[in-house]
């Protein structure tokens, strides 16, 4: 009987391994059809392998393997031959360089060995500095701690094929354009004389600008440009329309007309106030000027002395400022008729003022 049980286990054990799904935790009989391993629990957890940085970097598992890094306090996943943190893919990373191992580490993103880039065969970093650089002819030499290197620069020298020069007119070119035989550009004098190109005269003659050199005289008329010595040939005023006309001789321009109507008198420019017997007439314009007169106060012009008509008084003068009117008593102009009775007594006659006449 024991042999039969043992034989049955040996026969069916491989089938159980090949076809079985594993469910650990609650509800062990309930498992998803696509799960090979399923954990279910409300109070228990899965703890993955716990390792340090050093331990993790020595493990090279299959792609997708995960561990918990106790130094970084984070789960790492292995992919593309490096361990990658699953905690902070966008955060900052600390850049570290180990001078002993020549390894450059960027946080938890991986480590790169830089030994091949910084290895100095003689362990002397100072002998790589250039100490001398000399150009000897066409050879450049550079010297450092490792010796001297030479470079031939003759291929860089000018051989005449770098520059193209085309001569025209009186210009000529000589030389091959090399360092030892450079190009030379020369201007050939057509008539063989270099002095006859010098201007000997430059002046205005009868309205023409004349320039003279060894080859003759060239002339340019300047009359079309006008001058500054013209005179005014028209300066007139038209009283009918108050326009002023001005023109300059030989300027080829029509006369300039200036309308002065706004300056003509219209009575608004002058204010005249009169008092007493003075009077004003007119509007003050050019055609109706102001006229100042004097009115007769009492309406009678006969009571002012205009002339002496009875021979007693004589009026002299023309009535102007230079020759004003004067009244004088005519010779024998006063008779008994002009003297009232008893109007003249001894009191009015000075002593010896009256004498006898022949």
Contact 264, 283 (CB under 8 A): no
The pLDDT score that the predictor gives to residue 340 is 62
Phi-psi region of 277 (alpha: psi -120 to 50; beta: other; left: phi over 0): alpha
Q: Residue 15 — very low, low, confident or very high, per pLDDT cuts 50/70/90?
A: very low
302-354 pLDDT, tens digit per residue, is 555 555 566 677 777 776 777 877 777 777 767 766 666 665 666 656 666 55
How far is the C-alpha of 277 from the C-alpha of 301, rounded, in Å? 13
How much of the chain, in percent, has pLDDT values that exceed 90? Answer: 11
DSSP 8-state symbol, 205: E
Residue 220, CA atoms < 13 Å, CB-side half-sphere: 7
Q: Quick one: average pLDDT of 177-190?
A: 77
Burial 102-111, CB ≥16 within 10 A → b, else e: eeebeebeee
Mean pLDDT of the chain: 75
The pLDDT score that the predictor gives to residue 98 is 87
Rounded to 10 degrees, the C-alpha dihedral 238/239/241/245 comes to 20
The 3-state DSSP class for residue 9 equals helix
The pLDDT score that the predictor gives to residue 199 is 76
Closest CA to 232 of 247, 219, 214, 216: 247
Q: In terms of pLDDT, which residue wins out, 151 or 95?
A: 151
Beta pairing, strands 256-259 & 278-281:
unpaired
Q: In terms of pLDDT, which residue wins out, 92 or 147?
A: 147
Structural domain spans, the chain: 2-94+104-109, 125-156, 191-224, 232-263, 305-340
189-209 pLDDT, tens digit per residue, is 666 666 666 777 888 888 788
How far is the C-alpha of 172 from the C-alpha of 43, rounded, in Å? 105
98-107 pLDDT, tens digit per residue, is 888 888 887 7
- For tokens 């008729």, the residue is 337
On the question of pLDDT at 218 being above 80, the answer is yes
- For tokens 């190109």, the residue is 197
Q: In terms of pLDDT, which residue wins out, 267 or 117?
A: 117
pTM value is 0.25
On the question of pLDDT at 13 being above 80, the answer is no
Residue 31 phi/psi, 5-degree rounding, is -145, 145
On the question of pLDDT at 76 being above 70, the answer is yes
How far is the C-alpha of 185 from the C-alpha of 180, rounded, in Å? 16
The pLDDT score that the predictor gives to residue 206 is 82
Q: Residue 6 — very low, low, confident or very high, per pLDDT cuts 50/70/90?
A: very low
């Amino acid at each position: 009987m024991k042999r039969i049980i043992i034989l049955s286990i040996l026969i069916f054990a491989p089938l159980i391994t090949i076809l079985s799904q594993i469910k650990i935790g609650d509800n062990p009989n309930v498992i998803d059809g696509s799960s090979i391993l399923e954990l279910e629990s409300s109070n228990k957890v899965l703890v993955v392998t716990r390792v340090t940085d050093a331990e993790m970097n020595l493990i090279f598992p299959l792609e997708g393997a995960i561990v918990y890094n106790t130094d970084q306090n984070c789960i790492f996943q292995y992919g593309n031959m490096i361990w990658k943190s699953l905690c902070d893919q966008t955060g900052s990373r600390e850049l570290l360089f180990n001078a002993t191992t020549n390894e450059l580490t960027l946080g938890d993103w991986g480590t790169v060995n830089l030994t091949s880039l910084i290895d100095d065969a003689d362990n002397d970093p100072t002998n790589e500095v250039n100490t001398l650089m000399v150009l000897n002819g066409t050879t450049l030499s550079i010297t450092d701690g490792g010796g001297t290197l030479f470079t031939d620069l003759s291929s860089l020298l000018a051989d005449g094929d770098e520059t193209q020069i085309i001569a025209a007119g009186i210009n000529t070119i000589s030389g091959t354009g090399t360092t030892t035989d450079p190009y030379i550009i020369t201007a050939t004098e057509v008539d063989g004389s270099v002095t006859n190109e010098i201007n000997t005269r430059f002046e205005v003659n009868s309205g023409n600008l004349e320039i003279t050199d060894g080859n003759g005289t060239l002339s340019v008329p300047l009359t079309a440009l006008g001058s500054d010595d013209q005179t005014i040939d028209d300066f007139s005023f038209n009283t009918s329309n108050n326009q002023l006309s001005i023109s300059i001789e030989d300027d080829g321009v029509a006369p300039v007309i200036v309308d002065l109507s706004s300056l003509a008198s219209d009575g608004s420019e002058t204010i005249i106030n009169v008092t007493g017997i003075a009077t004003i007439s007119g509007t003050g314009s050019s055609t109706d000027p102001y006229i100042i007169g004097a009115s007769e106060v009492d309406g009678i012009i006969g009571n002012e002395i205009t002339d002496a008509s009875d021979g007693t008084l004589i009026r002299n003068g023309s009535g102007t400022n230079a020759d004003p009117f004067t009244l004088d008593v005519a010779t024998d102009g006063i008779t008994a008729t002009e003297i009232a009775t008893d109007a003249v007594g001894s009191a009015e006659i000075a002593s010896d003022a009256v004498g006898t006449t022949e």
